[in-house]
Chain A
Amino acid sequence: NAGVTQTPKFRVLKTGQSMTLLCAQDMNHEYMYWYRQDPGMGLRLIHYSVGEGTTAKGEVPDGYNVSRLKKQNFLLGLESAAPSQTSVYFCASTDWNTEAFFGQGTRLTVV
């Protein structure tokens, strides 16, 4: 049982480049989330999904897009990366009356 898997684990981008982060969960959870973690700020919600085909904005959505075409996958896209998007990104999934399960994280550096 893999839980929540994120790819890639590390990435360095140049300003203006694009990339997609993939999150996959095998627990049949309805809810999936993308967070970013920055020092001293905890985890902040970027976008989330309450089911296949649905997405919604979180706390800090600007500069990011998401898609949930399949229930088990939640993609986070950066169309034009900026240095302010240097962060550690965590995907999580959950369902009613369970805790959230987190992926291992993606460390992204934008230079």
Chain B
Amino acid sequence: AQSVSQHNHHVILSEAASLELGCNYSYGGTVNLFWYVQYPGQHLQLLLKYFSGDPLVKGIKGFEAEFIKSKFSFNLRKPSVQWSDTAEYFCAVNGADTGRRALTFGSGTRLQVQP
């Protein structure tokens, strides 16, 4: 079975501060990794994804994430946050070698950016 841990449940930052959200997963095979964002009252939108290749992945809105296989981690980073980044962020994983393809989500990190 696969699982995802997000260690930061609630993060409060000032505008222009740097962001790093932790994500660790547990799975015995090859994985696909994702970060989704959910703005208040909205559905989940993809920020970035890793399937294979360069472990440093760039996504939308200046976000990036690094896959470190030896640490089973896929941390999300942004060098300078904006008030509009206030949202909930979910790390997710699915097994690249299974037929089910269902995502397993972490419990989410609520990011609050203060002007």
A residues neighboring B (CB under 8 Å): 31, 33, 35, 40-45, 48, 50, 56, 58, 90, 92, 94-97, 99-100, 102-105
Q: Which residues of B contact A99 (CB under 8 A)?
A: 34, 46, 49
Known: A40-B9, A104-B43, A105-B43. A33 touches B102 (CB 8 A): yes
Bound Cα distance from A33 to B69, whole angstroms? 27
Q: Are A102 and B44 in contact (CB under 8 A)?
A: yes
Q: Are B90 and A43 in contact (CB under 8 A)?
A: yes
Q: Are B43 and A45 in contact (CB under 8 A)?
A: no
What total of chain B residues lie within 8 Å of the partner, measured CB to CB? 22
Q: Which residues of A contact B100 (CB under 8 A)?
A: 31, 48, 50, 56
Asked if B51 is an interface residue, CB under 8 A from chain A, the answer is yes
Q: Are A48 and B102 in contact (CB under 8 A)?
A: yes
Bound Cα distance from A66 to B43, whole angstroms? 21
Q: Which residues of B contact A90 (CB under 8 A)?
A: 43-44
Q: Are A50 and B108 in contact (CB under 8 A)?
A: no
Most buried by A among B49, B51, B102, B103: B102
Besides A31-B102, A44-B105, A104-B42, 7 more A-B contacts (Cβ < 8 Å) are: A31-B101, A40-B108, A42-B105, A45-B102, A50-B101, A90-B43, A102-B45
Q: Are A42 and B34 in contact (CB under 8 A)?
A: no
Bound Cα distance from A43 to B9, whole angstroms? 15
Q: Which residues of A contact B115 (CB under 8 A)?
A: none
Q: How far is the CB of A35 from chain B (nearest CB, A)?
A: 8
12 A–B pairs (Cβ distance < 8 Å), ordered by A: A31-B100, A31-B101, A31-B102, A33-B103, A42-B90, A43-B90, A48-B100, A48-B102, A50-B99, A97-B51, A100-B34, A100-B46
